[in-house]
Amino acid sequence: MSGLTHLDEHGAAHMVDVGAKAVTSRTASAAASITMLPATLQLITEGKHKKGDVFAVARIAGIQAAKKCSDLIPLCHPLMLTSVSVELKADPASSQVHILATCKVSGQTGVEMEALTAASVAALTIYDMCKAVDRGMEITSVRLLEKAGGKSGIWQRT
């Protein structure tokens, strides 16, 4: 693993200069899961939650979060994202919702943080919408699944 790129020779944090890097097509996918009571998941999947369509709101929140990533993570570059998708899947067997966020850009830096932010905020939105009926929900397994593009090429979680 190489050195930390967000620290200068004196250990001070700085935003990395990506100006000399080639513009390439870059993608990243990240995931998160949220565990809840079976009754809470049933409210969501049957569309009976009094706050409305939980998955639709979480999807929009995740997309918006990816677009605002550089406002939230101090040293992230603002990116002109070309695509953001947020997929939510109910898993009744484990009483979880699994979230998959994928971001794409043609640019000089990757979109890993945008994908991770989208997955995280989608999970947080589910928590927010359902906390009145289930405060014991647990967000877990926030992780990068894969990234492609740029000088380092493809990385995939094994």
Q: According to DSSP H, which parts of 7-53 are helical?
A: 38-45
* Residue 53 among the catalytic residues: no
Query: Which two tokens mark 11?
Result: 């250990």
* Residue 99 near residue 145, CB atoms below 8 Å: no
Give the separation between CA 98 and CA 29, rounded to whole angstroms. Answer: 13
Amino acid identity of 117?
T
Give the separation between CA 125 and CA 113, rounded to whole angstroms. Answer: 18
> Strand, coil or helix: what is 49?
coil
| Given 17, 91, 128, 134, the catalytic residue | 128
CA distances from 86 to 5, 55, 118, 122 (A): 29, 10, 7, 8
Residues acting as catalytic residues: 128
